[in-house]
Chains A and B, each alone.
Chain A
Amino acid sequence: MNMDGPLDFENEDPLVNPPPSAEKRKKVIELDDLVSDFYKEKSKLIDKRNRKRKASSKLYDSDDDDDKHGQQTLLSIVDNCRNQMNEICSEEDIQEWGLSMFGDQRAPTHSLLADLDNCYLLKEFMSSQLNSVVDLNPDNGTAFLEGLLVNGWLTKLILTCARVETIICKWSLDMLLYSPKEDLRSSACDFWCSILLSHNEVNGAPVEIQWLPNYQIIKEALESYGFRTNSSQNAELPEADSKSQGPPQNIRAWLKFVSACCQIRCKRSIFNASQLEQIAGILVWLLLDRGLQGLSLLLQECLISVTESFKDGEWVSSCKNIANSLASRVAQDMNCLRIVESVSGVDARSKRLRSTIANQMLVVLLDHKESDENLMSSLMSINLKEKSCNLFRTYMLLVLAENWLLSSKLVEEKPVLRDMWAVFLRNCFSQINSTDLRPFASKVRTKASYLLQGCRSD
């Protein structure tokens, strides 16, 4: 053991040693790394206690050379035991899902703010008699409008008058997307959602909106929040990127606004099919960011609004495009399972999306572009007994195939797929012994046995 090197707990300290990237770490695995890795994952509590004990014994060593030899022998025996344990338990050495989708924020390139001097609404009031009491003038126009927005007057007024001018539209959208004040951005969000959704009310008058936003504006806002457009390539794992600040609070208003834009039912829709595809992709990526876990309900609702807003004719091909783009860009780790599971699968369209994404990922993983049957037969041909068989990969294939087949009507339409699916499940169950210690062996076996029950009870 290298006594001059940093202590093993120092290795973990990001201040002493910046955390190496996941790939780098694979190359220089030392005994101590294995031990600490094992402990880190197994139990933080034991780890802490152990590190303390180790540190104190090392201190003791430097004081007393006579005991050093005995201590070291003991330590190496203990380390050996741990190492063996580590091999047994190494199935836990799989990264959890999670990407950090946001980098540094930057100022937006275009401002939507216009000169409120030309605001018709304010100008009209200034000419009225009551202005002697209110004292509205060009200097306090912005502050007054903010008050109207925050206290809900603007929304009620516009809904009653059923018309909103361009300047107010742009100004309030700017508040929604960029205001650092919570009451302003959330009121602006309520304002926009109300006027957009007034078009869907049966007996309410739809508000005539003189200016509607476009995809470019919402995309630019997201980029200014630090969203990494080329997501998976440069999105780092959250551990290595703990300092990134994440998006500003405006992301919440952004999501609600996009959701409302998709729900509006008027003659001209705000986004076209390919823009909707991109938005759907973005939402799925956002679901992979652990920093946004509290927003998962909002994200999923938004995703449903997006998928629902495709026209019937567009949906089939758009769904495939969304799935394709996700499958080709996500890393082949826990994240690709998380993507599938983050699509709720409650309504018809999200079921189809779930199934299609799973299918496309299978195509990528198996490097296959042929028929469904061929995809299934390559699954069936996996020999799980072979020592070199990567069971984590098998586990992913199993979960993906489950979602692909069972979230769709495929097995009902093609009974042969059901039979092949049953064969694959039986292989997973029978080719893996219950005492198999390979990583993910028990996971594959248990999952397959559970799914087999479903096959039988059908």
Chain B
Amino acid sequence: MSKETKANNSSRAMNNTYGASLEANTLAMLDSTGAKDNRDANEDRLQYLEAVRAASLVPETGIPPTNKMYQAMFRILRFGRRLELVAASFHLLTQLHQRYPWVYIPDGKHELEIVDEAWSPFNFGSDVDSGEKDISVRSLLFQELIQNMSKGVDESEESDLKILGNMFLFKYLVHVLKLDFIPRNQVFEETMNWSLLKESSLNLLLASRRVNFKLLMKDCLSTMCSPFDADGNSISLVELHKGMLSAMKELLVMIIELDASKKKADSEGITNRGDGVRTPALEIIVDELTYDEYLLSNFLKVFDDPKWKLEIVIQYLTKYIPKPSVRTRRSNTPQADDLKTLNGILKTFSNGTNAKNITKKIGPAVVQILIGHGFLAQLAISNTNEGDSMTEICNSVIAAFTNLRRVDQKIEIIPFGKEVLFTAEMVLKAKA
């Protein structure tokens, strides 16, 4: 689908008159029914959605919906009492955002185009409710939504429709955050213009004093790691639960990337005190995973962004590896730079005392889980490029396991550890 971008701005004046009459005509379909919840009212809502689709999406030069029209669609998504309505408004809204983005990078340019006064499901203007009629999502509501997700499907007492509706809503909100954040972050990396990210919906959402960031991260983790019984639930619920989990992953990755960009901006001195201080998400995650083997193995299984997964594993392991000492530089003490790569960390296991100490501190199973997931992430990253380092990593992985067995002959290699060895060996054979 083509984006209607700046080329169409010239016709915006014309669009405005069309937009106004379209708004009046389509919203009239909803007026007659008000807030009723009977079949007629629901059919009118479906008709409204169809009419917007026909006017804004189907024609090659469609008329973008007005903010009021967006608001009406979002109302259906939030409060629709039938799955049909919620699903239809979700699809329509996501398709509209794709066609009429409010933040985008015009083709061939390196700057950001931001549409003025574009509609957004979020409202960060003030933390005070401006009345019942306002259906925008505030920071607090977003946090509550995540808390609801973390309660899990099985314990929740809410109706199926409510659960499905919440999942659709969450998925949609994360989608909006992403459409807003990705282009901003991309241009930030090129131009180091911090204000772009400062004004991103994600940053505004997290900057709210109403949000308890640490709690939010904990809720995300517990949602991602809680068991889910696929066979006891309907097909729709299972599919949406999967979608919710991947939205949760996307949210985490965005937050981590925002933190990384903020750190960059801090080091350039372009942030100020108004930007606030927040514990980086990655640190909170590593802290939460420490000493909780169940959470650790489940989280790493679900969280499959290779770059940040590798970073989590590295940060976790470095906590237990003796820091390089400047004064007594012995040959087998790792250098600071080595500890930034998985390979460097794996090499420290060749030292018997190191291997023994780490295993003692975090347990043999956790060591295997960490090495394994680090290796898995490394495989995903290296897939496209360098081949030599791949063999090196595989050798290091096998050597680390061999050392673990050497220092503790009674160590039990868990099934996951066996899979690590199998894969490393077979990659070596294929590359030979």
Which residue numbers of A lie inside 8 Å of B, CB to CB? 41-43, 92, 96, 121, 124-125, 128, 130, 133-136, 144, 147-148, 151-153, 156-157, 159-161, 180, 182, 186, 201, 203-204, 246-247, 249, 251-252, 290-298, 300, 341, 344-347, 351, 402, 406-407, 446-447, 450, 453-454, 457
Contact = CB atoms under 8 A, between A and B. Distances in A.
Interface in B28-42: 28-29, 38-40
Given A293-B84, A294-B235, A406 B426 contact: no
Contact of B58 (A186, A292, A407): A407
B418 A249 contact: no
Overall SS of chain A's interface: helix
Given A151-B301, A294-B240, A351-B58, A345 B415 contact: no
Given A133-B401, A182-B230, A203-B384, A295 B239 contact: yes
Contacts of B25: 450, 453
Nearest to A340: B50
A43 B235 contact: no
Contact of B426 (A161, A182, A341, A447): A161
B427 A406 contact: no
A293 B57 contact: no
B236 interface: yes
Contact of B421 (A42, A130, A204): A130
A144 to B, nearest CB: 7
B105 interface: no
B413 interface: yes
Contacts of A128: 425, 429
Given A130-B425, A133-B418, A160-B427, A294 B58 contact: no
A354 to B, nearest CB: 8
B382 to A, nearest CB: 8
A290 B85 CA distance: 12
A186 B425 CA distance: 26
B83 interface: yes
A125 B426 contact: yes
Q: Which of B21, B57, B419 has the most CB of A within 10 A?
A: B419
A124 B429 contact: yes
A134 B422 contact: yes
B367 interface: no
Q: Which of B39, B383, B416 has the most CB of A within 10 A?
A: B383
A133 B422 CA distance: 10
Nearest to A150: B301
Given A128-B425, A293-B87, A450 B29 contact: yes
A43 B95 contact: no
B376 A156 contact: yes
B326 interface: no
B429 A346 contact: no
A160 B87 CA distance: 38
Contacts of B420: 153
A249 B230 contact: yes
A249 B229 CA distance: 12
B91 A294 contact: no
A396 to B, nearest CB: 14
Contacts of A182: 230-231, 238
Contact of B95 (A151, A159, A344, A454): A344
14 contacts: A42-B38, A124-B426, A128-B425, A130-B398, A133-B401, A136-B422, A153-B376, A153-B420, A201-B384, A290-B84, A293-B84, A293-B87, A294-B236, A347-B1
A292 B235 contact: yes
A294 B87 contact: yes
Contact of B236 (A42, A43, A148, A295): A295
Contact of A144 (B26, B242, B413, B418): B418
B109 to A, nearest CB: 22
B91 A133 contact: no
Contacts of A121: 426
A293 B429 CA distance: 47
Contacts of A402: 54
Given A293-B83, A297-B91, A92 B422 contact: no
B383 A151 contact: no
A296 B422 contact: no
Given A153-B422, A346-B1, 15 more contacts: A96-B39, A134-B418, A134-B422, A144-B419, A148-B422, A152-B376, A157-B426, A160-B430, A249-B238, A293-B236, A294-B234, A297-B90, A300-B91, A450-B51, A457-B18
A128 B240 CA distance: 43
B425 A344 contact: no
Interface residues of B, number: 62
Contacts of B39: 41, 92, 96
Contacts, number: 147
Interface of B: 1, 18, 21, 25-26, 28-29, 38-40, 47, 50-51, 53-55, 57-59, 83-84, 87, 90-91, 95, 99, 164, 230-231, 234-240, 242, 301, 304, 376, 379-380, 383-384, 390, 398, 401, 405, 413, 415-416, 418-423, 425-427, 429-430
A269 to B, nearest CB: 24
A294 B421 contact: no
A171 B211 CA distance: 48
B416 A159 contact: no
A89 B91 CA distance: 33
A15 B299 CA distance: 47
B419 A159 contact: no
Nearest to B424: A130
A252 B239 contact: yes
A133 B58 contact: no
Nearest to A204: B384
Nearest to B413: A133
B57 A346 contact: yes
A148 to B, nearest CB: 6
B423 A156 contact: yes
Given A252-B239, A450-B29, A133 B87 contact: no
A446 B48 CA distance: 12
A203 B386 CA distance: 12
A43 B87 contact: no
A438 to B, nearest CB: 16
A407 B53 CA distance: 11
Contacts of B99: 346
Complex A-B, nearest 6 residue pairs according to Cβ-Cβ distance, in ascending order: A294-B236, A182-B230, A161-B430, A156-B379, A134-B418, A153-B423
B235 A251 contact: yes
A455 B54 CA distance: 13
Given A133-B405, A294-B87, A294-B237, A125 B21 contact: no
A296 B376 contact: no
Contact of B390 (A43, A144, A160, A344): A160
Contacts of B401: 133
A345 B53 contact: yes
Given A125-B426, A297-B87, A345 B57 contact: yes
Nearest to A143: B415
A160 B38 CA distance: 56
A247 B415 contact: no
A180 B230 CA distance: 10
Contacts of A96: 39
A134 B40 CA distance: 65
Given A134-B422, A182-B230, A453-B21, A152 B239 contact: no
A42 B39 CA distance: 8
A247 B238 CA distance: 13
Contacts of B28: 450
A42 B40 CA distance: 10
Nearest to B60: A409
Contacts of A447: 47
A161 B427 contact: yes
